[in-house]
Each structure stands twice: as C-alpha cells, then as structure tokens.
C-alpha cells in the first residue's frame, strides 16, 4: 500500500482497515473515551515541535493530530453519529458564518473589529444571552490558566475590569496578604481558596501585559529546568551529590546558575 503521496481518503481507508475484522487488535478495541487523552497529547507535541522551529517534526506531529481527528470520525461513523465529511462541513460552515466581515455584509477595519465580529457571531450562533453564559461556555477542560484568562477577557469585554495594570498588580499584593493570613490560620480549605485567588489575580496581570499566562509559566518552568541542570553540573564538577548538600550550598550554586543562565 506504499505510495508517493497519500490523500485524506487514503488515511480514512487505512483507519477503517485497522478497525476491520482483519485489522489491528489494539485499534479495533479503542473507543472515544479510551483515546481522548491521545488528542491532548498530540496537540501538545505539535506545539512543542512548532516552538522548536523544526518544520519536519511539526508536519509529522500535525499528522499525528490529524490521525486523532480521523480516528474519532471513523468511530462516530461506525455508530452512525457523523462522518469525516460532516466534520469538514461543520468547520467550513462555522468559518463562513463567523467571518461575516469577509463572507457577509459586516465590516472590520482591523484585528480588534474582526475579533469583535467573531465573538458576536459566536454568541449568536450558540444562543448565549448573557456574558455569564459566555463565560460558562469557555471549555472547562482547558488548562486552568488558559481558562482563567479567557473568562477574564469575557468580563473585560463588558467593562468589568481594572482601569490599568496598576489595579491588577494591587490585587495581586492584596491576594498575597490574604494567602499569608490563611497560612497563619492553618486552614487547608481557606489556603487553597486564597492560593486560587492569587493565581487568578496573576493571570489578570498577564492579560494586561498581552502575555499568555500559560506560555509564561511554561517558559518559567523550562528556565527552572535549565538552571537546575547547571546546578547539577556544578555540583558534579565539585564532586558533590545534590541530596547530600546543605540548603545554603544549593542556594549558592543556584545563584551561580542564575548568573550563567540568564
């Protein structure tokens, strides 16, 4: 079945073969539920390849992601729910209906107006009658930071927002104080609540800075790993084992790593 080029129909045929009586034992027993996390994993792997600037890997990972779409479409086809053609129809229709400034009579002079038109059409399409409904429509399964930022944007869209970033920063300081108070009370539920409020306030600062809080934390985590790697190398160079070192020694190496890995 090897070919120089494959079409989407070929991919559908491959999946149907894998699901057939003489197909793959693993593929045959899969369900929507059993492979749902694969779609999340493949999405992140595609993003990782994109950020690494590796186009060949990016194309490969996009293929893996597409395979998940096809897999779910074939599973749905088998139970008579919908087909891959229905999936293509729905996204095509949605793009046309949401871009009325391109395919309709609406006008959008810039990116901001285009986004406003998109959101208005989305609200109309989903029959969302209030901003609260629009907030609740933000997918709960999103990463928490991403969901928080989207919800905050919905509130800001109707004017419920700080005047500037200074108000958002003051809120962070307020939440730090409230978390400290909760820690002093040693109340687990209260500490969790206040920590959540602090994270929510920090996300608001990211929104004012036009920064993705999700990406900012991801980059901070990567930076921590890089610096920790330097700490580990410095320890090895001096013949020491991290777990046997004092906190003061570790802190000294950490400060050295910060100087070397800025």
When mean pLDDT is compared across 167-171, 216-220, 258-262, the lowest value belongs to 258-262
Mean pLDDT across 156-180: 97
How many Cβ atoms are within 10 Å of 6's Cβ, its own excluded?
13
Query: How confident is the model at residue 238, as a pLDDT?
Result: 93
Query: How confident is the model at residue 156, as a pLDDT?
Result: 96
Q: What is the rounded average pLDDT for all residues in the chain?
A: 95
Percent of the chain with pLDDT over 70: 99
pTM above 0.85, yes or no: no
Cα–Cα separations (whole angstroms), residue 75 to 29, 36, 156: 11, 12, 40
SS (H, E, C) the chain: CCCCCCCHHHHHHHHHHHHCCCCCHHHHCCCHHHHHHHHHHHHHHHHHHHHHCCHHHHHHHHHHHHHHHHHHHHHHHHCCCCCHHHHHHHHHHHHHHHCHHHHCCCCCCCHHHHHHHHHHHHHHHCCCCCHHHHHHCCCCCCCHHHHHHHHHHHHHHCCCCCCCHHHHHHHHHHHHHHHHHHHHHCCHHHHHHHHHHHHHHHHHHHHHCCCCHHHHHHHHHHHHHHHHHHHHHHHHHCCCCHHHCCHHHHHHHHHHHHHHCC
1 pLDDT above the threshold of 90: no
């Amino acid at each position: 079945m090897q070919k120089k080029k494959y079409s989407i129909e070929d991919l559908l045929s491959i999946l149907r073969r894998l699901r057939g009586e003489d197909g793959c034992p693993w593929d045959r027993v899969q369900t929507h539920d059993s492979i749902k996390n694969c779609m999340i994993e493949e999405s992140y792997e595609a993003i990782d390849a994109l950020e690494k600037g590796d186009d060949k890997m990016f194309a490969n990972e996009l293929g893996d992601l597409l395979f998940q779409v096809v897999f779910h479409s074939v599973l749905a086809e088998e139970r008579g729910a919908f087909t891959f053609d229905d999936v293509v129809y729905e996204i095509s229709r949605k793009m046309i209906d949401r871009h009325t400034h391109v395919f309709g009579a609406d006008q959008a002079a810039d990116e901001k107006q285009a986004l406003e038109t998109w959101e208005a059409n989305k609200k109309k399409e989903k029959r969302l009658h209030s901003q609260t409904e629009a907030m609740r429509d933000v997918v709960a399964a999103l990463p928490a930071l991403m969901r928080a930022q989207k919800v905050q944007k919905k509130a800001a869209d109707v004017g419920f927002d700080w005047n500037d970033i200074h108000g958002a920063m003051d809120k962070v300081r307020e939440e730090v104080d409230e978390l400290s108070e909760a820690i002093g009370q040693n109340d687990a539920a209260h500490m969790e609540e206040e920590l959540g409020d602090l994270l929510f306030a920090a996300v608001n600062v990211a929104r004012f800075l036009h920064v993705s809080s999700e990406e900012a934390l991801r980059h901070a985590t990567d930076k921590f790993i890089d610096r920790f790697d330097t700490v580990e190398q410095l320890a090895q160079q001096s013949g020491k084992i991290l777990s046997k070192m004092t906190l003061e020694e570790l802190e000294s190496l950490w400060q050295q790593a910060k100087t070397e890995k800025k």
